[in-house]
Chain A
Amino acid sequence: GAGVSQSPSNKVTEKGKDVELRCDPISGHTALYWYRQSLGQGLEFLIYFQGNSAPDKSGLPSDRFSAERTGGSVSTLTIQRTQQEDSAVYLCASSQDSLSGNTIYFGEGSWLTVV
């Protein structure tokens, strides 16, 4: 597609339920990022995929969070047993590669509300 596509754009879920957020990066981009942004806060790095390398999961806040990237393209971020503090915007981004300062392109985010 022309840009990074994320779905759903909005999700309201009950505490304790699992959620899956999807990211479809720009075609041909080898690097894919997930960030989280709470209301009025900066971007918190979660996880990063670069080509076929093992993902950098150093930003995942707990073992309830996981992500995968199938076939080097679409990525899914899964949050198990959601908690109210998980409420935030989850932003996905992609770039051609991440090693030379290429621009990263963000999607519009998935707004998650845990009630």
Chain B
Amino acid sequence: SQKIEQNSEALNIQEGKTATLTCNYTNYSPAYLQWYRQDPGRGPVFLLLIRENEKEKRKERLKVTFDTTLKQSLFHITASQPADSATYLCALPGGWGKLQFGAGTQVVVTP
């Protein structure tokens, strides 16, 4: 299985700025990587998937990059809003189809 590292410190950011989160993995390069959002007391919700042959993926104000050389994915929230405040999880296939999650990074967007 993979060791997945996400910044455990909360990211505090001012509304309108870009939030950038990091997901590092240590073992084999996965065929894909996913990002999820989790609000307090709720289950995670899928945001984006990026495959190993894709460098970048966008969805509205979200952008994900995938660098298999660095074994890293970056997750960007542009023009951040207070409603973007949540914990963001990256997830990779952990072998035989199961999905393995990082511990998540909390984002707090202040007006």
Give A residues with C-beta under 8 Å from B.
4, 31, 33, 35, 41-43, 45, 48, 50, 56, 91, 93, 97-99, 101, 103-109
Are A35 and B101 in touch, CB under 8 angstroms? yes
Q: Which residue of B lies closest to A41 (CB)?
A: B103
- Beyond A101-B49, A106-B44, A106-B45, whether A42 also contacts B99 by CB under 8 A is no
Interface size, chain B (Cβ < 8 Å): 23
The 8 Å CB contact of A99, one of B41, B44, B97, is: B97
- In angstroms, Cα B61 to Cα A41, docked, is 27
Top 4 nearest A-B pairs (CB, nearest first) are A106-B43, A98-B97, A42-B103, A101-B32
Q: Do B89 and A101 have beta carbons less than 8 Å apart?
A: no
Instruction: Please report B residues at the A interface, Cβ cutoff 8 Å.
Output: 31-32, 34, 41-46, 49, 51, 89, 93-94, 96-104
A88 to chain B, nearest CB (A): 13
State the CA gap A56–B97 with chains docked (Å). Answer: 10
CA distance A44 to B96 in the complex (A): 16
Give Cα A38 to B18, complex, Å.
30
B45 with A43: CB separation less than 8 A: no
B100→A45 contact, CB < 8 A: yes
A94 to chain B, nearest CB (A): 11
Q: How far is the CA of A74 from the CA of B94 in the complex (A)?
A: 24
Q: Which residue of B lies closest to A97 (CB)?
A: B97
B101 touching A43 by the CB < 8 A rule? yes
Which residues of B have CB within 8 Å of A42? 89, 101-104
- Assess whether A104 is in contact with B46, with CB atoms less than 8 Å apart: yes
> In the bound complex, do residue A109 and residue B97 qualify as a contact, i.e. CB atoms below 8 Å apart?
no
Between B45, B94, B97, the greatest number of chain A beta carbons within 10 A of the residue's beta carbon is seen for B97
Are B32 and A98 interface neighbours, CB within 8 A?
no
Q: Which residues of B contact A50 (CB under 8 A)?
A: 97
